[in-house]
């Protein structure tokens, strides 16, 4: 399997660990009613009421993202390799089509299915429009998977030589690991494990343990939506993607100077920017630290469907 470009290959494993975090929602449901925040006026017609109910019914509230790593890599490679061809492939469309054809599940044959679909498309044997014409759940998976993966692949620029201020355009993986390159860390799959501080709940994050002061990196570009203290996450940063479909939560930063200088709510950050520094604050009163090892809590929340 072809590896992502050298400048971004370091983040592959961690990135897709973050993608798995997007499975934080309770279960896979093709449609789920969302609560309505405003009541329909008494003067509204019955037909308008029916349209409002239909809109709520079609509103996606829950999504369980369970695409395996192999399928992600195969679809990604096909997207990148075909980018400059007459028939560029879209990795999200390939994944959404595969999910639709298999009832939302992936198997050991999924990678082969994705590859064959890509071959048929490249040979002009068919089109994605034709393949999905009668698949009523395709739009659901396409919208859901776009919300999860939409900001990770695309065009970006890199400086040709450090300090040259000359840039070249590239296409590929443009997201980053939340841990700066060259800094050691350890992690394990603790998503969903029990937490009891304050109240009983599942742990909706992925903890990465390292040295205090390790630079924490913005996975994706966006706006700083939250910055400050939280008794559970300690000193933490919340960043919303520009399309408002993903929210990144970086917690347990260091006690002194937890944030990159000048960062504040409303600041614009670029993927790859240093935004803070690893620590072990949280689960305590303001300014306090945890008893266990320094860590960075990184979570990507899919928020495209929130009301």
Task: Provide the mean pLDDT of the chain.
Answer: 79
Residue 1 has pLDDT above 60, yes or no: no
- How many CB atoms neighbour CB 53 within 10 A? 13
Is pLDDT above 90 for 67?
yes
Residue 283 structure tokens: 């689960």
User: Residues 2-24: what's their mean pLDDT?
Assistant: 38
Beta bridge partners of 207: 297
Q: Which pLDDT score, from 0 to 100, does residue 307 have?
A: 20
Decide: helix, strand or coil at residue 183.
Answer: coil
pLDDT tens, 197-254?
Answer: 878 888 878 888 899 999 999 999 999 999 999 888 899 999 999 999 999 999 999 9
DSSP string across 241-301: ETTSSEEEEEE-B-SSS-B-TT--TT-EE-TT-EEEEBB-B-SSSTT-B-SS--EEEEEEE
Give the residue carrying structure tokens 């100077």: 257
Q: Give the SS3 label for residue 131.
A: helix
In degrees rounded to 5, what are phi and psi of residue 188?
Answer: -150, 165
55 pLDDT band (50/70/90 cuts)?
A: low
- 94, pLDDT greater than 90: yes
Structure tokens at 234: 């300690």
The model's pTM: 0.74
Q: What are phi and psi of 15, to 5 degrees?
A: -60, -50
Helix axes 69-81, 91-101, angle to 10 degrees: 140
102's tokens: 């298999």
In CATH, the architecture of 185-302 is Distorted Sandwich (2.70)
The residues near 143 (Cβ < 8 Å, ≥ 6 apart) are: 60, 304
CB atoms within 10 A of CB 138: 19
Decide: residue 162, CB within 10 A, 0-12 exposed, 13-18 middle, 19+ buried. Answer: exposed
> What whole-number distance in Å separates Cα of residue 48 and Cα of residue 129?
31
Euclidean distance between CA atoms 271 and 41, whole angstroms: 45
Extents of the domains making up the chain: 6-28+63-149, 185-302
User: Could you give the CA distance from residue 294 to residue 138 in angstroms, rounded to a whole number?
Assistant: 43
Average pLDDT of 121-145?
96
Ramachandran angles phi, psi of 55, nearest 5°: -65, -45
Is there a contact between 97 and 41 (Cβ–Cβ < 8 Å)? no
> By C-alpha distance, which of 151, 116, 282, 161 is closest to 223?
151
How many CA atoms are closer than 13 Å to the CA of 198, on its beta-carbon side?
Answer: 12
């Amino acid at each position: 399997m072809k590896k992502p470009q050298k400048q971004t290959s370091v983040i592959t494993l961690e990135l897709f660990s973050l993608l798995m975090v997007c499975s934080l929602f309770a279960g896979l449901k093709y449609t789920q009613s969302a609560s309505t925040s405003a009541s329909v006026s008494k003067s509204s017609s019955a037909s308008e009421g029916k349209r409002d109910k239909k809109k709520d019914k079609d509103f996606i509230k829950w999504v369980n993202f369970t695409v395996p790593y192999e399928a992600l890599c195969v679809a990604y490679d096909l997207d990148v390799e075909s980018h400059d061809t007459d028939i560029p492939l879209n990795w999200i469309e390939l994944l959404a089509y595969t999910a639709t054809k298999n009832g939302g599940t992936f198997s050991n044959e999924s990678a082969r299915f994705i590859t064959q679909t890509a071959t048929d498309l490249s040979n002009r044997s068919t089109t994605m429009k034709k393949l999905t014409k009668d698949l009523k759940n395709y739009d659901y998976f396409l919208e859901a998977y776009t919300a999860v993966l939409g900001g990770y692949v695309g065009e970006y620029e890199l400086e040709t030589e450090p300090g040259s201020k000359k840039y070249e355009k590239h296409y590929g993986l443009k997201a980053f690991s939340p841990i700066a390159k060259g800094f050691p860390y350890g992690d394990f799959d603790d998503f969903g494990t029990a937490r009891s501080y304050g109240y009983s709940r599942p742990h909706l994050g992925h903890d990465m343990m390292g040295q205090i002061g390790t630079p924490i990196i913005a996975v994706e570009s966006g706006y700083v939506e939250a910055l400050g203290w939280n008794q559970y996450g300690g000193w933490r940063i919340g960043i919303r993607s520009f399309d408002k479909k993903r929210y990144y939560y970086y917690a347990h930063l260091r006690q002194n100077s937890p944030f990159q200088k000048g960062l504040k709510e409303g600041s614009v950050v670029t993927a790859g920017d240093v935004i803070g520094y690893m620590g072990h604050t949280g689960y305590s009163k303001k300014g306090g630290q945890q008893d266990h090892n320094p860590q960075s809590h990184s979570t990507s929340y899919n928020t495209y469907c929130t009301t």
